Amino acid sequence: MSNATQDNHTSSLAGLTLGAIGVVYGDIGTSVLYSIKEVFGSGHVDFTPDNVMGILSIFFWTLTFIVSLKYVTLVLRADNNGEGGLVAMLALASSSVRDKPRLRNVLLVVGIFGTCLFYGDGVITPAISVLSAVEGLEVVSPNFKKAVIPLTLVILLCLFAVQKRGTGGIGKFFGPITLVWFATIAVLGVYHIASNPSILLAINPYYAVTFMWDQPGTTFLILGAVVLCVTGGEALYADMGHFGKKPIRLAWFAVVMPCLTLNYFGQGALLLTDPEAVKNPFFNMAPDWALIPLVVLATAATVIASQALITGAFSVTKQVIQLGFLPRLQIHHTSEKDTGQIYMPFVNWGLFVVIVLAVVMFKTSSNLAAAYGIAVCTDMLITTVLTFFVIRYAWKMPLWLCIGATSVFFVVDLAFWSSNLLKLADGGWFPLFIGGMILILMLTWRDGRALLHHKTRDEAMDLRSFLDALFIGPPTRVEGTAVFLTTENDIVPNAMLHNLKHNKVLHAQNLFVTVRSHEVPWIDKAKRSELIDLGHGCWQVKIHYGFKDDPDVPFALSLLRDKVGDINGMNTSYFLSRDSIVPTVGGGMAQWREKLFAQMYLNASAAADFLNLPSNSVVEMGSKIEI
């Protein structure tokens, strides 16, 4: 490798690592604001040197075991064509057991529920992060207490209001600001560790094991708060496709984990010196002159953490739509260069409304902490389960190795999850309620589309047979190309029947186009389209997309110009069926679900926009379908 190439590679790695620090680790980086406070502020742990050492040791080994070993070492290996995240893993796991339909269906429901909980996490994370940062003002002066909630809501409103502008302009500052944040929390930690260096001995697992052995009941109670230190850890897997494994691993081991450890141990040293600091140990670490700047920096860090999660919500929603679990929603691309930068108005303002509700309902970060852990733990548990099926059926590893690689993680995740169940009545129900509502929507949409599919097939005519009969006495042919969008590639589209009935003409060229989404992130352009010649100037076309591709039918059809000619001119019309769903008694779903599906179908974004069809060339023809 030449010096220039090596310098470029090093520069690229450094840039990706800095980007990973800003986007991937923003959430887990702000957990120092509330994790120690919730453990020691719970009242379950006495302030003794042995207890402080034991808790710090548990924090360190929780970070090591769940993030370093589980996510960084094992889960990052389970990529789906380079992409990560629960949706990518779900697609990988479900496709690996395609020959086991019952198991596949169970995995799909479990994985989709985990995805639904992501939205619950998406509500709690911005609420607790920004609220805990603004609460630092109470350390400056108790007079600021009344301003905490209004100021938090103003910050959140500004954050969601700028989403439509995209993050391209400000995204470049995320990494440097978050790096300053990690450096700051490390310096604060070192400052207090210097007064009690022996606190570093808590790295020894002996202290964690001794605490758990001597106080098993207390350990179980506090696990629900301890898990707060790894909230956001799953983001390093979700963002693998953006940054790659190496930068994410380098950022974790070189910057994030050392800085988090130093800060947690510094908070422990502070509490040994001043137990009263437990009211807000993080902000009490700072000298008086640094409090206001620290609140500002903490707020900036929490906004960045929230931004990453909001962007993730847009991306996950788009992927779930592609997989067929949600109706089409309006999508705006905020960058001409980066197609991954999108804005979804419905998701954006829906999240904002529920976040405002969470802030107003729970009022403090401590109250929100009770609601936080259960969604995270359930997602961690689901990730472990899906990982087992990936390494067993996709990687074909021996059963004993699969059980050995995941069982220990499963037991640890189960312990954290079980502890969080104790907080169910105190707020843990909130993200579960959100996830449950979204799961109902997703399963209703999936089942409704299946009903619609069967109804359409039962009443449809075979395309080849219809064309053979049609051309015995063909209608008048007119110049131009008709593109008929259909959900099934071998049946006659309703739009074509309506066109023949009302206009009594047939275009010179007719393309019957079916768009298929697959359980892989990307599909190469060379495999984008399949073409079958039906004769008489008619072709059957299948267009394939991955769940992270941006559907663009005109572009996909332009790849076929060598076989069917240029079809993107003014002489091309796109015909779509705009169906109206009519719920009926005794159908395939409960009446309320059929009505819900009909409403979702009615409010779905226009197919023309979703498929990037030219608006001045689209013809929609309606029909009613009873389900």
* Cα dist from 71 to 62, 75, 84, 249, 394, whole Å: 12, 5, 11, 10, 18
- Confidence at residue 339, expressed as pLDDT on a 0 to 100 scale: 56
Specify the pLDDT at position 298.
93
Confidence grade of residue 4 (pLDDT, cut at 50, 70, 90): very low
pLDDT tier, 340 (very low <50, low <70, confident <90, very high otherwise)? low
Residue 274 exposure: Cα atoms within 13 Å on the Cβ side:
14
Q: Identify the pLDDT of residue 331.
A: 84
Q: What is the mean pLDDT of residues 11-19?
A: 80
Q: Mean per-residue pLDDT for 341-368?
A: 90
The superfamily (CATH) of domain 13-447 is Amino acid/polyamine transporter I (1.20.1740.10)
In this structure, what token pair is assigned to residue 181?
């944040």
Q: What is the pLDDT of residues 500-531, one digit of tens each?
A: 888 888 888 899 999 988 878 888 888 888 88
Residue-level pLDDT at 407: 92
Burial bucket for residue 535 (CB in 10 Å: 0-12, 13-18, 19+): exposed
Q: Is 234 helix (H, G, I), strand (E, B) or coil?
A: coil
- Residue 133 — left, alpha, or beta (φ > 0 → left; ψ -120 to 50 → alpha)? alpha
Region class of 15: left (phi > 0), else alpha (psi between -120 and 50), else beta:
alpha
Q: What is the 3-state secondary structure (H, E, C) of 337-365?
A: CCCCCEECHHHHHHHHHHHHHHHHHHCCH
pLDDT of residue 265: 96
For 115, the token pair is 């995805």
pLDDT of residue 338: 58
pLDDT class for 167, splitting at 50, 70, 90? low
Query: Residue 529 and residue 544: Cα distance in Å, rounded?
Result: 6
Higher pLDDT, 325 or 455: 325
pLDDT above 90: percentage of residues in the chain:
31
- Calpha distance 108→255 (Å, rounded): 36
Closest alpha carbon to 62 in 195, 207, 192, 223? 223
Comparing 237-241, 336-340, 454-458, which segment has the lowest mean pLDDT? Answer: 336-340
Q: Check residue 57 and give its pLDDT.
A: 96
Q: Per-residue pLDDT averaged across 423-446, rounded?
A: 90
Mean pLDDT value of segment 218-228: 90
Any idea which of 86-90, 208-212, 594-598 has the lowest mean pLDDT?
86-90
Q: What is the pLDDT of residue 40?
A: 84
∠ CA 615-623-482, nearest 5°, is: 45
pLDDT at 213 over 70: yes
Q: Where are the domains of the chain?
A: 13-447, 461-626
Average pLDDT, the chain: 86
- Cα gap 159→232, rounded to integer Å: 19
Asked whether the predicted pLDDT for residue 611 surpasses 90, the reply is: no
What letter represents residue 556's amino acid?
A: A
Reported as a single tens digit per residue, the pLDDT across 549-578 is: 888 898 888 888 888 777 766 788 899 887
Report pLDDT for 337.
60
Neighbours of 144 (CB within 10 A): 16
Mean pLDDT of 416-436: 89
pLDDT at 511: 92
State both tokens at 21: 């620090």
In degrees and rounded to multiples of 5, residue 41 shows phi and psi of -85, -5
The pair phi, psi for residue 269, each rounded to 5°, is: -65, -40
Identify the pLDDT of residue 171.
64
The C-alpha atoms of residue 588 and residue 244 are separated, in whole angstroms, by 44
> Average pLDDT for residues 342-366, to the nearest whole number?
91
pLDDT above 90: residue 493: no
Residue 65's pLDDT is: 93
In the DSSP assignment, the letter for residue 301 is H
DSSP string, 426-446: IIIHHHHHHHHHHHHHHHHHH
| pLDDT of 617 higher than 60 | yes
Whole-angstrom distance, CA of residue 287 vs CA of residue 280: 13
pLDDT of residue 474: 84
- What mean pLDDT is predicted for residues 85-106? 86
Among 559, 496, 574, CA closest to 525: 559
Contact 135, 144 (CB under 8 A): no
Q: Please tell me the predicted confidence (pLDDT) of residue 5.
A: 43
pLDDT of residue 336: 61
pLDDT band of residue 200 (cuts 50, 70, 90) is very high
Residue-wise pLDDT for 16-61, tens only, equals 888 888 888 988 999 999 899 888 877 777 778 899 999 999 999 9
pLDDT at position 490 over 90: no
Sort 135 into a burial class: Cβ within 10 Å, 0-12 / 13-18 / 19+: buried
Report the distance separating Cα 134 and Cα 139, nearest Å.
10
**Structure confidence at residue 214 as a pLDDT band (50, 70, 90):** very high
Please check the confidence at residue 7 and state whether its pLDDT lies above 50: no
pLDDT exceeding 70 applies to what percent of the chain? Answer: 95
User: Residue 415 in 3-state DSSP?
Assistant: helix
Asked whether the beta carbons of 66 and 232 are under 8 A apart, the reply is no
Decide which of 489 and 281 is more confident.
Answer: 281
